[in-house]
Chain A
Amino acid sequence: MTNYLVQRLAGTVPVLLLISLLVFLLIHAAPGDPTLMLLGEETNAVEVAKAKERWGLDQPLYVQYLKFLKSAAAGDFGRSFKYTEPVIRVIRTRVPATIELAVVAIIIATLLAIPLGVWAGARPNSWIDNLGTTFGLFGISMPSFWLAIMLILLLAGVLNILPTAGRSTYGIAGPEQTGFYILDSILQKNGPAVWDGLTHIFLPALALGVNMLGILMRVTRSAILEVMTEDYVQTARAKGLRENKVVWRHVTRNALIPVITVVGLELGTLLSGSIIVETVFAWPGSGSLLITALNARDYPLVTGVVMTYTAAFVSINLIIDGLYAVIDPRIRY
């Protein structure tokens, strides 16, 4: 087990290296000279050469890459053009919002998907199953950003019951501790702020979670279908247990392993879905930061955010792999 984890950990190093190389090359493939962009139109060759020397742009590409790598490893992606602050500091203020959103999205998706899937899977081909399966297919086919827009239109525009932008109403939240508004508010026992945070996060989390909901529902259903044919289910029934007890105690517990696997697999999709959903809801997370940075052509910031996302994605996959062994004792590496 430890052996396997060490091996996997070592395996991610070349992957991260290659990714950084890819990002570095993409920046250099971008049309337009960054020096001209920073110095403006009215400049001369001497100025440009001086600037290039100052920023190390006159050196061969591999030297530049090594320098980039050295500072990136230390978490230093330079200074953001737009915010005139170190990139890493800008990102740090935005990451908690994204994590909070993703966590709530997962909670919503699993809380709805598992009962639906169990319900559908326990009665194959019934009307409940048909309804659930259709619902699952809808969830998979739904473009999350369109759902986001429609939710805003309906729940905020027409019914006017939920806020549509940002993380909280101005002035209601207490001082920042962890950066997670809802958690902060709970720690500070600030009831109204907790409620305010929840109303703000509900719509974006729902829009973000809908694809995962569809997939989880389908996976739960098919896992339940599979487990239902096992002998021990027959035994449980023969013992005289009520069907409800058989389904929830014996079948569901054993069917959850593939479901957890899929939650892990879908985390990455969720992460990139956050980019677009955050933009629609003006959610101040790292996803909307990426779009802001792109529109401002803030390359250091773009690089920083892309590398952060990728590193997060790679580590999540690593952690999930490790968790399998804990959840399912049958898995041995």
Chain B
Amino acid sequence: MQSLTLESATDERATGQVRKLPRLHVKAFTGGLIVLMFILVGIFGPASAPHDPNKQELTAMMKAPEGAGSTHVLGTDNLGRDIFSRVIYGSRVSLLVAFAVVFVSGFIGIILGAISGYFGGKVDFVIQKLVEVVWAFPPLLLGITIMAFLGQGLFNLILALVAQRWIPYCRVVRGQTLSLRSRDFVTAAQCLGASNRQIIIRHIIPNLIQTSLVIGTFAMASSIIAEASLSFLGVGVPPEIPTWGTMLADARIYISTSWWMPLFPGLCIFITVLGINLLGDGLRDLLDPRLKRTGSGI
């Protein structure tokens, strides 16, 4: 018996299975750290930003970064606004939009998915048709279209991003609910006289939280990129609010003269999204290895 366990252990080591677990933790940990930093900067950063992000210093336009200790650590933009302060304020908008989108779309997606899977029949048919139609739009295009017709603004932006992001939740949750529906604890609850609403809220949805958490992290990464993309295209947040996307849009004309203008906001998007993806990868491997990610960041 002892030799058997020993053998299987060496066998595992040979295929590299043993080293997998610590690496997962490193991934999730690094990602979690980046995300935590992003959240902290988004909440507390603006209070400690060195300058007003919208203050135009026309005597200090397009100043190159001068390193730590100088007045403008990351330089200034074409209107003499401090890039460091703007980047910090930008994280707040990204944070706000991303969390709002993830929660609203998660709420809608989980509820519709649970209803669709639990009741089946006509309700399921209608919800799935809706999913099919919304999903038939190329990603980002629906967002652009909605923003173009509704106009710029934070609320519209969140609406435009939620429009497609509830779908992954809905699809996965529906599938899981279909299998949960026939499990014994649901039957037991039905026998005890619980109403459908009670069963869905008390018994089905709690079982869907882990999977939804994983979907949520990836939805968050994609919302940050989508928010930046829409703001970059000029159909996102109003121009007076500093965000990473609008900063990149401002920087576009000055690429050849001031490299620092596009570099820093873009780097912020990249690192934040990387952190969220790392965290998501780690969470998925730990909580739910069945979920394979195929969608991209957009």
Contact = CB atoms under 8 A, between A and B. Distances in A.
Interface string A245-263: 0000000000000000010
Interface in B252-298: 252, 255-256, 259, 262-263, 266, 269-270, 273-274, 277-278, 281, 292, 294-298
Contacts of B228: 143, 145
B269 A143 contact: yes
Given A137-B274, A141-B274, A152-B255, A275 B232 contact: no
Contacts of A214: 296
Instruction: Report the interface size class on chain B.
Output: 35 or more
Given A29-B150, A272-B140, A265 B294 contact: yes
B133 A19 contact: yes
B221 interface: yes
Contact of B270 (A22, A146, A268): A146
Contacts of B263: 150, 153
Nearest to A229: B15
Contacts of A219: 294
A137 B277 contact: yes
Contacts of B145: 23, 26, 302, 306
B133 to A, nearest CB: 4
Interface stretch (A42-50, A196-204, A309-317): A309-317
Interface in A140-182: 140-146, 149-150, 152-153, 157
Tell me whether chain B's interface is mostly helix, strand or loop, or mixed. helix
Given A146-B248, A275-B141, A302-B145, 8 more contacts: A26-B150, A125-B16, A125-B20, A125-B23, A137-B277, A145-B228, A153-B255, A275-B140
Interface of A: 14-16, 18-19, 22-23, 26-27, 29-31, 124-125, 137-138, 140-146, 149-150, 152-153, 157, 211-212, 214-215, 219, 222, 262, 265-266, 268-269, 271-273, 275-276, 279-280, 290-291, 294-295, 302, 306, 309-310, 313-314, 317
24 contacts: A15-B133, A18-B129, A18-B133, A19-B133, A19-B137, A26-B150, A124-B16, A137-B278, A141-B273, A142-B270, A145-B229, A149-B252, A149-B262, A211-B296, A214-B296, A268-B139, A269-B298, A272-B138, A276-B232, A290-B144, A291-B233, A302-B148, A306-B141, A309-B141
